[in-house]
Structure 1
Amino acid sequence: MKNILVRRPKSTDVQALHQFFFLVIQDTFAKEGLTELVEDQHTEWAMKKHYLAMDLASQGQQRFFLVAVEPKTGEIIGTIEYGEANALIQQTIQEDLTNCPEIGTVYVHPSYQQRGIGTVLFRHMLTTLETQQIPSFCLDSGYRQAQIVWQKKLGKPDVCLEHYWEPNTHHMIWKRSIPF
């Protein structure tokens, strides 16, 4: 999809972003066969809302979001953010990640998936990090479908925590230099 607008979120986007996060989380859990994990969905949703609040309160200093907007309708169709690496990444990588933020919340509206929106957002984020002279980033995923995408973009993960979630359900972590 070529005609998308990528911009920073505004305070007027909060309600729409909350709804967007929940929609994508529910869809992802359904596609992963995890619909029974309702509490986990709500936990993830609460975390994403908290990250957005951190971004808006700190003007992008604590968390930094970008949103993809469909220009004709103004509908939010994608998100990406970066911030301090999560506890699992920090415990697993076991090195100083001060200048190595985690890229996360790479969400694309279910109706717009497979159209390159995530790639556009990822490229914008890499440009943002490079402009800010951030030397590297990390990223993790426990979702099978997302792992396929990230392996195509980033190659083999640096760490694969086998059978992390359940038998044959792994968690993958990548750490890459910028530019990569």
Structure 2
Amino acid sequence: MQQIEIRRPEPGDCQELHQFFRSVITDTFAKENLADLVEDIEQEIKTKESYLKIDYDSLGVDRYFLLAIANKQIIGTIEYGPFSRLIHELTQGALQNMVEIGTVLVHPEYQQQGIGSLLLNVLLLSLRNKGIEEFCLDSGYNRAQKYWMKKLGEPDYRFENYWSEGNDHMIWRRQTSDIPVIFKIYQP
């Protein structure tokens, strides 16, 4: 079984993380048949880079990242922080003061192997240890929505055709204690 290390980002990880964001986000847009949305791709990458900077600058207080490492390479990320403006607008502030889990990215070669689940489990344990009992999560990607529905059930908010015809936006609100923490890594 391959060893996966879950750890906080270190200053020397910044450049590799920027490349990781670019690679995975570009791949995600392509798999969603959205590769032509170059400006949106660039904005998504910049957002993830700014979240990482907030983590570094606040030492994990204002944004908190975890990395999955295999063979000395970053293969996955997850983070939590204040909920996004989009969530605030769509829910009309109903999730105010709640943390949002986001930046759940797994390298294409490691998808469908339990890396996202492992990252989520470790982050949920971190949230519970910090006394955070509730979180929200949103997704506008069809493939990711299927994953989150499998993990979290039906979303609490669904905005049909939000991005375009057939492309909804979904938001989940959950208690950290509602999600069973199970460590399971799948072998390809």
Deviation at 1:96, TM superposition (A): 5.1
> What letter corresponds to residue 167 of structure 1 in structure 2?
E
TM-score under structure 1 normalisation? 0.96
SS in 1 for 2:177: coil
Matched residues in 1 for 2:103 and 2:28: separation? 12
Partner of 1:30: 30
Partner of 1:21: 21
Paired amino acid for 2:61: Q
Count of matched residue pairs: 177
In the other structure, the counterpart of 1:150 is: 148
Partner of 2:41: 41
Equivalent residue for 1:101? 99
* Paired letter, 1:23: S
- Which 10-residue stretch deviates more, 156-165 or 83-92? 83-92
> One-letter code of the match for 2:153?
G
Is contact 2:128-2:176 (8 Å) kept?
A: yes
Q: CA deviation at 1:3?
A: 2.0
* Aligned residues: CA RMSD: 1.0
| Structure 2 unaligned regions, length at least 5 | 179-188
- Could you state the TM-score of these two structures normalised by the residue count of structure 2? 0.92
Residues 128 and 2 of structure 1, relative CA distance in 2, 3 Å threshold: farther
Alignment match, 1:78 = 76
Shift of the alpha carbon at 1:2? 5.8
Which position in structure 1 is the counterpart of 2:120?
122
CA deviation string 1:43-85 (max 9, x = no partner): 0000100000000110001100000000xx2000000000000
Aligned with 1:179: secondary structure?
helix
- Cα 1:174/1:2, change in 2 over 3 Å: farther
Structure 1 pair 101–38 and aligned structure 2 pair: CA distance change class (3 A): same
C-alpha separation between the residues in 2 aligned to 1:179 and 1:90? 23
Change over 3 Å in CA distance of 1:91–1:130 after alignment to 2 = same
